Amino acid sequence: MKKSRKKRLLATAVAIAMTGGLLAGCGKTAQTEAGPAGGSSSEKSGEGDITLAVWAWDVALMQLKDCAAKYQEEHPNVKFDFVEMGTDQVYKKLSTSLSTGNGIADIIQIEGDVITGYEDKFPEGFLDLSDILTTDDFVQSKINECVYNGKTHAFPWDAGPMGFFYRTDYFEQAGVEAGSIKTWDDLIEAGKKVEAVCKTPGGDPVKMLPVNPQRTNLYTMIRNELGTGLFDADGKPIVNNDNSIKAMEKAKQIYDSGICLDYNGWDEYEQCVVNESVACIPEAVWMIGTIKDKSPKTEGKWASIALPAIDGGKYSCNNGGSDLAANAKTKYPEQVKDFIKFALTDKELQIAGLEKYGLYPSYKPSYDAKIFTAGDPFFSGNVYAPFVEASNNIADIPASPNVLEANDEAAVSCTQVYLNGADVKQTFDALQENFENKYGH
Amino acid sequence: MKNHRKGHLINKGNAPYVLLAPTILIFVLFMIYPIIRSLYLSFFELKSGCYQFVGLHNYIVLFHDRTFYKSLFNTVVYLVIQVPVMILLALAIAVLIEEKFLRGKAFFRTSVFLPSITALVAYALVFKVLLNGDHGLINYVIELFGAKGVNWFYGEWSARIAIIMAITWRWTGYNMIILLAGIQSIPDSLQEAARIDGATARQRFVYITVPMVKQIILFCTITSTIGTLQLFDEPFILTSGGPNNATITMGEYLYDNGFRYLKFGYASAIGYVMTIIIFLLSALQFKATAKGDTD
Amino acid sequence: MNKISRFFCYVVLILIAFISLFPFYFMFVSGTNSNEQILSIPPKLTPGTELAENFGILIGKMDLFHSILNTLIISIVYTLFAVLLFSAAGYALAKFEFRGKKLIYGFIMGTMMIPSLVMYVPLFEMMIRFNLTDTYASVILPLLANAFGIFLMRQNMLGFPSALLEAGRIDGVGELGLFFRIVLPNEKPAISALVIYMFTSMWNNFMWPLIVLQSENKYTLPIALAMLDGNPTNKNYAVIMLATAIATLPILIIFMLFQKQFVAGVMGGAVKE
């Protein structure tokens, strides 16, 4: 027995040494992998057909198809291979394959809040797009997502400035003046009136707003109004600072006031619109599409204003929106860049994307289009007005590679506060300690 | 002729090595290498595209990581509640199916076993629809009986129960088949003799069936324990670990760290702590039964 | 047993069988109903008329033919290799005494304790190095390191009569001949159990194929299924259930065909030792 154990140890030692040898090639693999890409660059100026693989999902995919069709009018030799990949699939693939560029599409749609994490772990994974991006032309919060450590790893696409959708009919019944809702406290007061008076088509009392008590949305929204993120500019966690605590206290006050409708997951969120069970939805501009899609019978009954504010909060918020990144090992870097730039800075395409699919451009020169002053006939008033204003006033929140994980953890803290009645200060002190353990200083 | 030549080349002495060689090659390549490599990675972290040596840092962080403790707690909850319930249920079903008078044995056996061959993605999706709080069939049935429907995925315990129900549905039949095998191997004469001596069904179960299939119960318990400790799929699809991390398992936390947060080193460290826990628990179960034998 | 307890016994078993089978029924029936009908309260539980329409949407959304073909090829090749490798290994571990046997067997069994998730990153790196990503081989090869299959075969082979082997040796049958011509033909139940076990585990496997398969026309059914479900907006449960039913059907058929041998094989595996 003893002997075999010794042998086993020896074998282990040898094997570790071997794997160590393999590991030493960390920087090298990237270079050798880059070989074929460089080799094929001779095709750059060639006349031959090329095919660019594109990963995107949902409406963004449809919009990219439209862009491709228009692009091909000028560039008939460029073909596209579109694959619909949901976010989960994209991320699973990226996390295993990004280090090699192997098996990843040339152009990839990525959500703005996670892209920094990939760039941080795999700085050689995405193509540097600095030479095609004019930063002044884009909303600042999107530039924060797309530039990290001095490199432009993605090109800003749709933004998600937030506003406050409300049901004009419910407000009228309850005698609530939308313009009077300036703060979250006003919202609570109005919510009580609405619930007392209004009934859904199904006969239940109408709730003021949907909240997922297992997510950070409401807390994040209020915290961003105060101009604070989960991390400061040096990457230090700051979840128990005054702004963060204040935001969570307010979120808890709103939740505890009883005006909220619980939901869990996207399906149920949509159901709030379908069943007409809420009077308001504080959400990003892309919610316009969902409201129109899911509840066509409420045409004319929705309008929008700015988000309620918290005292001391001077900013607006952004939620969601994605960017386009390119695979650094693409065979056709020039064509990829050319297409991305075309697709995301062609004013007509940007406006068409907004009209057809609700993709709100972050490309500022497109904001002078008529649609932003005319609004959408489905809504009463100019539905876009509050969002245009919001997009110019979004806090400059530093990007962090740990934001995905940190947000998961913060969601747990929110759940404890909302559902278990935990003390805000204690919960967020514990969260801070947890972050300090994980992310150091 | 041919046989004779082969006899020279491969004889009784080297035959087992020849027979095992391809399997060993596969295991060395696709098991030993990854095991060592991930052990190695657990001392590293991916930073700016390169693995950097961080020593024991991942393990130190892990021992202070409250989410990890929560995932450990949940896993233990599943283990302590689900495994005994499932094994007992499986044993009870196996005994019932083996009853002499029963007709349609094959039908019952097949029905109970079928869940274990379904694709995970498929069964998780079906359960997601069935357990839906508003329009799920399970709540509809509960409400038919006059009780209040449960918002399964909101409460910490109700979410855990939902997961336990799903796992039990899927794996009871699998263990039942194995236990059935054990029960069938008990000589009929033994049961017959007991019956003649006037033993009741319950007495026969306690004094004959259980002791005779003890080894198989142990086998089922250990494999189920290992399976539960590595549990990933069900919470991943049904609850994503929520609410308040009440259903997150060690496996899911490992997945999150490795494939969502891109912390492969940390994920490997979790994997190794899991392996140690699994090893200790399996050893404990062996010991406990071995001790029972000598008593 | 008296009549009442017999009756009670039937009631319990029928209830359990019902609970076991109902999700299957729900899956198949939902594939013929519309999304709204599934989401209504209570959901519609009788076969509907939407099958053709759901199927139309389904084939528009996923490459059903390729997914089935891919899954079938991968599962069959994997099962063939597994049967050959594991029955040889099981036979060697059950019927021979040799140096290192305990160590090898102990190691193989020990690997069951290691969570497979933790090995995916190194395995994926390896597949890249071998230039195997996006091939059937990359799905099949690593998953052949499966301890349970070896365990199952070893347990079954333990009971193989040694006298039969000795008789063969006396007749001058070579060692490989013994294995192929005497052992394998006599272990049909064990092999059937292994076939079903390996085939279903590959047919249903999700994580590993998802990681190594990259082009859409290589996707297996579970990946294609998850892609259908992956999109959070505009989920069509009817189409998802139909796809699920299609993915489950072949496994059900195979199980029904082989179940007698399968049950015998599992039993052989568990009883000994």
Per-residue DSSP letter, B257: I
Q: Which residue has the tokens 């996923």?
A: C62
Contacts of B33 in chain A (CB under 8 A): 15, 19
A146 Cβ partners below 8 Å, 6+ apart?
A: A112, A115, A129, A133, A152, A153, A154, A155, A156, A323
Structure-block tokens of residue C265: 């094989």
**Coil, strand or helix at A165:** strand
CA–CA gap between residue A356 and residue A289 (Å, rounded): 9
**Could you identify the residue written with the tokens 């450590």?**
A149
Of A27, A91, A268, the CB nearest to B50: A27
Counting Cα atoms < 13 Å in the Cβ hemisphere of A258 gives 6
In this prediction, residues A67-89 reach a mean pLDDT of 87
Question: What's the gap between Cα A100 and its chain centre?
Answer: 25
**Mean pLDDT value across chain A:** 84
What are the beta bridge partners of residue A155? A324
More confident residue, A35 or A87: A87
Q: Residue B57, exposed/middle/buried by CB under 10 A (0-12, 13-18, 19+)?
A: middle
CB contact under 8 A, B259 and A92: yes
Please indicate if any CB of chain C lies within 8 Å of the CB of A294: no
**Which of 3.40.50.970, 1.20.120.420, 3.60.150.10, 1.10.3720.10 would CATH assign to domain C63-271?**
1.10.3720.10
**Interface check A290 vs C, CB under 8 A:** yes
Is residue A107 a contact partner of residue A54, using CB atoms and an 8 Å limit?
yes
**Domain A162-317+377-439 bears CATH identifier 2.60.200.30:** no
Provide mean pLDDT across the span B236-240.
Answer: 79
Strands A78-84 and A302-305: unpaired
User: What's the ipTM?
Assistant: 0.86
Q: What pLDDT score was predicted for residue A51?
A: 92
User: Does position A9 have pLDDT exceeding 70, yes or no?
Assistant: no
d(C-alpha A316, C-alpha A314), whole Å: 7
A336 pLDDT band, cuts 50/70/90, is very high
Q: For residue C85, give the chain B residue with the closest CA.
A: B23
Which residues of chain A have a CB within 8 Å of the CB of B40? 16, 19-20, 23
Kindly report the number of other CB atoms within 10 A of residue B64's CB atom. Answer: 13
**CA atoms of A61 and A65, how far apart (whole Å):** 6
Q: What is the mean pLDDT of chain C?
A: 85
Mutation target among B3, B20, B111 for the C interface, most CBs of C within 10 A: B20
Q: What percent of chain B has pLDDT over 70?
A: 94
Q: What is the mean pLDDT of residues A173-202?
A: 93
Give the strand order in the sheet containing A155-156: A78-84, A50-56, A107-111, A322-326, A155-156
Within an 8 Å CB–CB cutoff, is residue B245 touching chain A? yes
Are the C-beta atoms of A90 and A109 separated by less than 8 Å? Answer: yes
Cα C106 to Cα A120, A422, B207, C112: the distances in Å are: 42, 49, 33, 10
Spell out the CATH class of B59-294.
mainly alpha
d(CA C161, CA A319): 70
Tokens for B171? 């794996």
Q: Which of B88-92, B123-127, C260-264 has the lowest mean pLDDT?
A: C260-264
pLDDT above 50 for C24: yes
Q: Give me A220's structure tokens.
A: 């994040």
CB A358 within 8 A of CB A288: yes
Position C165 pLDDT exceeds 50: yes
Q: Is A87 on the interface with B (CB under 8 A)?
A: no
Q: Give the mutation candidate from B54, B256, B262, B264 for the A interface (greatest A CB count, under 10 A).
A: B262
User: Higher confidence at residue A247 or residue B103?
Assistant: A247
* CA angle, residues B187, B190, B194, in degrees to nearest 5: 155
DSSP A394: B
d(CA A95, CA A103): 12
**Nearest C-alpha neighbor of A53 from the set C134, C228, C60, C121:** C134
Average pLDDT over residues B19-44: 92
Q: Looking at the domain that runs over A47-159+320-369, which CATH code has it been given?
A: 3.40.190.10
Distances (CA, A) of B30 to B38, B230, C140, C218: 12, 19, 11, 22
Q: How many cross-chain Cβ pairs, B to C, lie less than 8 Å apart?
A: 274
**Domain A47-159+320-369 identical in fold to domain A162-317+377-439:** yes
Give this prediction's pTM.
Answer: 0.83
| Confidence at A14, pLDDT banded by 50, 70, 90 | very low
Cα separations in angstroms, C259 against C28, C204, C249, C262 = 22, 18, 15, 5
Token digits of residue B227 = 């399976």
The answer to whether the CB of B131 falls within 8 A of the CB of C23 is no
**Residues sharing a CB contact under 8 Å with residue C107, sequence separation 6 or more, in sequence order:** B27
CA dist C77 and B1 (Å) reads 33
- Token pair belonging to A354: 């907004």
B52 band by pLDDT with thresholds 50, 70 and 90: confident
Look up residue C14 and give its two tokens. Answer: 């029928």
More confident residue, A390 or B121: A390
Task: Please state, in angstroms and rounded to a whole number, the distance separating the CA atoms of residues A282 and A308.
Answer: 9
Question: C135: which residues sit within 8 A by CB, 6+ positions away?
Answer: none
List the one residue out of A120, A407, C122 whose CA is nearest residue B268.
C122
Q: What is the pLDDT of residue C96?
A: 92
pLDDT value of residue B293: 54
- Kind of pairing, strands A322-326 and A155-156? antiparallel
Question: Which one of A23, A122, A230, A403 makes the best mutation probe of the B interface by having the most chain B beta carbons within 10 Å?
Answer: A23
Between A7-21, B205-219, C19-33, the lowest mean confidence (pLDDT) is in A7-21
Radius of gyration (Cα) for chain A, nearest Å?
25
pLDDT tens-digit series, residues B245-288:
889 999 889 988 887 787 888 999 999 999 899 889 888 887 87
Concatenated DSSP letters for B134-157? TT-HHHHHHHHTTSPP--TTTSHH
Give Dmax (Cα) for chain B.
Answer: 80
Angle between helices C237-271 and B156-184 (to 10 degrees): 40
The reported pLDDT for the residue numbered A293 is: 82
Looking at the predicted structure, is the pLDDT value of residue B79 above 50? yes
> Which three-class secondary structure state does DSSP give residue B56?
coil
Q: How far is A88 from chain C (nearest CA, A)?
A: 7
CA B267 to CA B269: how far, in whole Å? 5
Average pLDDT over residues A396-409: 87
Q: Is residue A41 predicted with pLDDT exceeding 60?
A: no
Looking at the DSSP bridge assignments, the partners of residue A231 are A237
Copy the structure tokens of residue C56: 């139309």
pLDDT score, position A406: 92
Q: Does A210 touch chain B (CB under 8 A)?
A: no
Inspect the interface and report whether the beta carbons of B37 and A27 lie closer than 8 Å. no
Give the β-pairing of A50-56 and A162-167.
unpaired
Whole-angstrom distance, CA of residue A257 vs CA of residue A303 = 24
Q: Do the Cβ atoms of A320 and A397 come closer than 8 Å?
A: no
Residues 6+ apart with CB under 8 A from A293: C234
- C234-261: average pLDDT: 82
A362's tokens: 């972050």
Q: Which of C93, C145, C172 sits opposite B4 (nearest CB)?
A: C172
Q: Is B3 in a helix, a strand, or coil?
A: helix
Query: Shortest Cα distance from A316 to chain B (angstroms)?
Result: 28
Domain boundaries, chain A: 47-159+320-369, 162-317+377-439
CA B4 to chain CA centroid, nearest Å: 47
Q: Decide: B36 and A15 in contact? Cβ < 8 Å.
A: yes
Mean pLDDT of B209-224: 85
User: What pLDDT is stored for residue B6 in this prediction?
Assistant: 45
d(CA A257, CA A172): 22
d(CA A151, CA A123): 9
- C-beta atoms surrounding A428 within 10 Å: 25
pLDDT given at position C258: 77
Confidence of residue A426 (pLDDT cuts 50, 70, 90): very high
With beta carbons less than 8 A apart as the criterion, state whether C220 and C205 touch: yes
Residue C203: what residue type? W
Q: By the 8 A CB rule, do B111 and B153 touch?
A: no
**Cα torsion angle, B156, B162, B167, B168, sign:** positive
Q: Cβ contact (<8 Å) for B49 and A30?
A: yes
Question: What tokens were used for A155?
Answer: 């090109």
Strand intervals (E) in chain B: 44-47, 50-53
